[in-house]
Amino acid sequence: MEHKFFPLFVDLNDKRCLVIGAGNIAYRKIKTLLKYGAMVEVITRDVAEDRISELQGVKVSVKAFSEKDLENVFLVVAATNNSDFNKEIFEICNAKNILVNNMTSKFDMNARFSAVYEGESVQVAVSSMGYPKKSLEIRDNIKKMLEKNNCQ
Ligand SMILES: C[C@@]1(CC(=O)O)c2cc3[nH]c(cc4nc(cc5[nH]c(cc(n2)[C@H]1CCC(=O)O)[C@@](C)(CC(=O)O)[C@@H]5CCC(=O)O)C(CC(=O)O)=C4CCC(=O)O)c(CCC(=O)O)c3CC(=O)O
Ligand SMILES: NC(=O)C1=CN([C@@H]2O[C@H](COP(=O)(O)OP(=O)(O)OC[C@H]3O[C@@H](n4cnc5c(N)ncnc54)[C@H](O)[C@@H]3O)[C@@H](O)[C@H]2O)C=CC1
User: 83 and 129 in one domain?
Assistant: no
Whether pLDDT at 2 is above 90: no
Domain that holds residue 131: 115-148
Encode pLDDT of 78-117 as tens digits. 999 999 999 999 999 999 999 999 999 999 999 999 999 9
Residue 62: CATH number of its domain: 3.40.50.720
DSSP-assigned beta bridge partners for residue 121: none
Last residue of a domain, one of 64, 81, 102: 102
Average pLDDT, integer, range 129-140: 97
Encode pLDDT of 43-87 as tens digits. 999 999 999 999 999 999 999 999 999 999 999 999 999 999 999
Residue 132 in any domain: the answer is: yes
Residue 26 in any domain: the answer is: yes
CB atoms within 10 A of CB 13: 9
Residue 125 in any domain: the answer is: yes
Residue nearest to atom 53 of ligand 1 (CA): 104
User: 29 and 96 in one domain?
Assistant: yes
Mutation probe of ligand 1 site: the residue of 10, 101, 113, 134 with most atoms within 8 A of C-beta: 113
User: 96 and 74 in one domain?
Assistant: yes
Residue nearest to atom 22 of ligand 2 (CA): 80
Domain total for the chain? Answer: 2
- The reported pLDDT for the residue numbered 150 is 86
Cα of 28 from ligand 2 centre, angstroms:
11
- Give CA–CA dist 127/134, Å, rounded: 8
118 by Cβ neighbours in 10 Å (0-12 / 13-18 / 19+) ranks as exposed
Q: What percent of the chain has pLDDT over 70?
A: 99
User: 42 and 75 in one domain?
Assistant: yes
DSSP string, 29-40: HHHHHHHTT-EE
- The reported pLDDT for the residue numbered 1 is 57
The helix (run of H) or strand (run of E) holding residue 115 is: strand 115-118
- The reported pLDDT for the residue numbered 111 is 98
Please tell me the number of the ligand nearest to residue 61's CA: 2
Beta strands in 38-106 (DSSP E): 39-44, 59-62, 75-78, 99-102
Q: What is the ipTM of this complex?
A: 0.97
User: 121 and 91 in one domain?
Assistant: no
Cα of 59 from ligand 2 centre, angstroms:
18
User: 92 and 65 in one domain?
Assistant: yes
Cα of 23 from ligand 2 centre, angstroms:
5
> Mean pLDDT across the chain, nearest whole number?
96
Cβ neighbors of 57 (< 8 A, separation 6 or more) are 34, 39, 40
User: 66 and 126 in one domain?
Assistant: no
User: 55 and 31 in one domain?
Assistant: yes
Please tell me the number of the ligand nearest to residue 82's CA: 2
Whether pLDDT at 129 is above 80: yes
Residue type, 17: C
